[in-house]
């Protein structure tokens, strides 16, 4: 049995979106979600935390783990899950198997790995459980069913003790820590991890980007792991991701790592590694982008909806504060080549992490970034056009037609702005804003006027 976390499910969901013309290329509009400067936002993940059908997301904020509730019409409300300095990494998954999404975090100051239990309410509250207190400078957490027993296990990577651990869930949310790789097995301090079935044998393997190598750790099906090298010529691996980049049915790998200090000659900072399909697989290294910037994050998604997976990256030139979020268009070749397109280019943001999801539920994929400046940003794709939407509340918002319909609104047409329309007022006694007066509305209407509410 395979348990797919929201981050892993994102790859599947973007491949199922409606295809657009082959030459379609999105532009992105930058929408700030949280501008709380001075709170280093290092990590971000997306999931429907409140079960309302909208894509929410969660970020580590340095001073807190914070989630952002999306109302479906362009507005986010920030709420802290837990506060305290040092939170550096987050991951969203249903840890306790109760059908709602919990949050996993790592704190680089206290060296703790925690999970925060969602109570399932419409506006959920979270109970914090500590799994481990000795993950020395924890940099990454992840979730997957490592032992194949049907529940969600947790993984962590920590730099100073040079250890990847997995925490075995007994099905009752009691966790046992196991060292998956330490010391010489992972060279020197894993900075990022990812879990996927790399060799196609039905169990979960683990990938790592560390200070001197990209590696994968082969699970023998009994949770004994063998370290296997993918690339031993890197310096400081920042990010790693796994997906089928060439469409041949096996799992390829993408990494972000830098070879030099800013200002040196461009080096291959983003690479993908083609799985040859053998048992165990070998990997052919292929360059995605050469640059003298420092890379910070990689992700795979079908950005242009042409049926293959593109690569989304963030990078920064720390020497002058220039930053770029880029999507690299997959040309569908064998093997594929990648053409870079800038999604967002701004100064002194320093994006640390990205997630790709259809935030506004309009049928195209958007990009979310978390930055060292404390800025959390939504880069909205225009692949599906927007227009004015008259909402049941009587107000107007600019949304895509699918998003407008999801909000029970009336779409006014592509490119139409709210200033050019006059939306009808809200229906009297329509308390649930669904466009009509039903029994529930009438009962609330009676209670309001009889003083019973």
Distance CA 163, CA 161 (A): 6
pLDDT of amino acid 184:
62
Asked if 305 contacts 16 with a C-beta cutoff of 8 angstroms, the reply is: no
Nearest to 295 by CA among 251, 336, 243, 234: 234
Question: Could you write out the DSSP letters of every residue in 301-346?
Answer: E-TT-SSS-EEEEEEEETTTTEEEEEEEEE---SS--EEEEEEEEE
Question: What stretch of H or E contains 65?
Answer: strand 62-70
Distance CA 347, CA 337 (A): 28
Residues of the chain with pLDDT under 70: 1-23, 37-38, 184-189, 259-266, 318-319, 347-348, 427-453
CA distances from 254 to 240, 273, 289, 295, 324 (A): 6, 6, 12, 12, 18
Tokens of 155: 């993984």
pTM of the model: 0.86
- What is the residue whose two structure tokens read 């709420």? 79
Question: Could you write out the DSSP letters of every residue in 79-146?
Answer: EEEEEEEEEEEEEEE-SSSSSS-EEEEEETTTTEEEEEEE---SS--EEEEEEES--TTEEEEEEE-T
Distance CA 257, CA 451 (A): 64
pLDDT of amino acid 380:
95
- What is the residue whose two structure tokens read 């040092």? 86
186 DSSP 8-state letter: G
pLDDT of amino acid 15:
40
- Exposure on the CB side of residue 397, measured as CA atoms within 13 A: 20
Asked if 242 contacts 205 with a C-beta cutoff of 8 angstroms, the reply is: no
Q: What are phi and psi of 281, to 5 degrees?
A: -75, 150
DSSP reduced 3-state for 195: strand
pLDDT of amino acid 437:
56
Asked if 392 contacts 435 with a C-beta cutoff of 8 angstroms, the reply is: yes
């Amino acid at each position: 049995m395979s348990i797919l976390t929201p981050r892993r499910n994102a790859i599947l969901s973007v491949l199922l979106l409606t295809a657009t013309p082959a030459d379609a290329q999105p532009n992105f509009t930058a929408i700030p979600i949280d501008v709380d400067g001075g709170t280093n936002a290092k990590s971000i993940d997306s999931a429907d935390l409140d079960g309302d059908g909208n894509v929410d997301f969660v970020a580590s904020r340095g001073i807190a783990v914070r989630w952002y509730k999306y109302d479906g019409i362009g507005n986010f409300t920030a709420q802290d899950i837990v506060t305290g300095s040092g939170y550096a990494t987050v991951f969203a998954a249903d840890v306790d198997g109760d059908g709602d999404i919990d949050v996993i975090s790592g704190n680089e100051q206290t060296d703790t790995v925690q999970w925060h239990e969602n109570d399932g309410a419409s506006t959920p509250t979270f109970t914090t459980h500590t799994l481990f207190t000795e993950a020395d400078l924890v940099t990454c957490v992840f979730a997957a069913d490592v032992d194949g027993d049907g529940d969600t296990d947790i993984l962590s990577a920590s730099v100073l003790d040079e250890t990847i651990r997995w925490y075995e869930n007994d099905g009752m949310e009691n966790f046992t820590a196991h060292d998956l790789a330490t010391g010489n097995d992972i060279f020197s301090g894993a900075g990022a991890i990812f879990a996927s079935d790399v060799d196609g044998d039905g169990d979960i393997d683990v990938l790592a980007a560390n200070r001197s190598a990209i590696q994968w750790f082969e699970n023998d099906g009994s949770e004994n792991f063998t370290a296997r090298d993918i690339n031993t010529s890197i310096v400081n691996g920042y990010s790693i991701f796994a997906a089928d980049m060439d469409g041949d049915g096996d799992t390829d790998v993408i990494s972000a790592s830098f070879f030099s200090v800013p200002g040196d000659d461009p080096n291959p900072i983003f690479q993908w590694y083609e799985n040859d399909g053998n048992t165990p697989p070998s990997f052919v290294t292929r360059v995605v982008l050469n640059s003298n910037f420092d890379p910070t994050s990689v992700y795979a998604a079908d950005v242009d909806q042409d049926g293959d997976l593109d690569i989304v990256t963030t990078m920064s030139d720390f020497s002058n504060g220039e930053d770029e979020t880029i999507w690299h268009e997959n040309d569908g070749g064998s093997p594929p080549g990648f053409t870079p397109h800038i999604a967002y280019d701004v100064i002194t943001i320093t994006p640390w992490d990205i997630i790709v999801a259809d935030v506004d539920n309009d049928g195209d994929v958007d990009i979310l970034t978390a930055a060292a400046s404390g800025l959390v940003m939504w880069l909205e794709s225009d692949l599906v056009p927007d227009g004015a939407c008259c909402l049941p509340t009587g107000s107007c918002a600019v949304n895509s037609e699918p998003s407008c319909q999801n909000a029970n609104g009336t779409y006014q047409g592509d490119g139409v702005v709210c200033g050019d329309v006059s939306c009808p007022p809200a229906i009297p006694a329509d308390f649930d804003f669904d466009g009509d007066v039903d029994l529930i509305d009438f009962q609330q209407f009676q209670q309001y006027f009889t003083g019973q509410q």
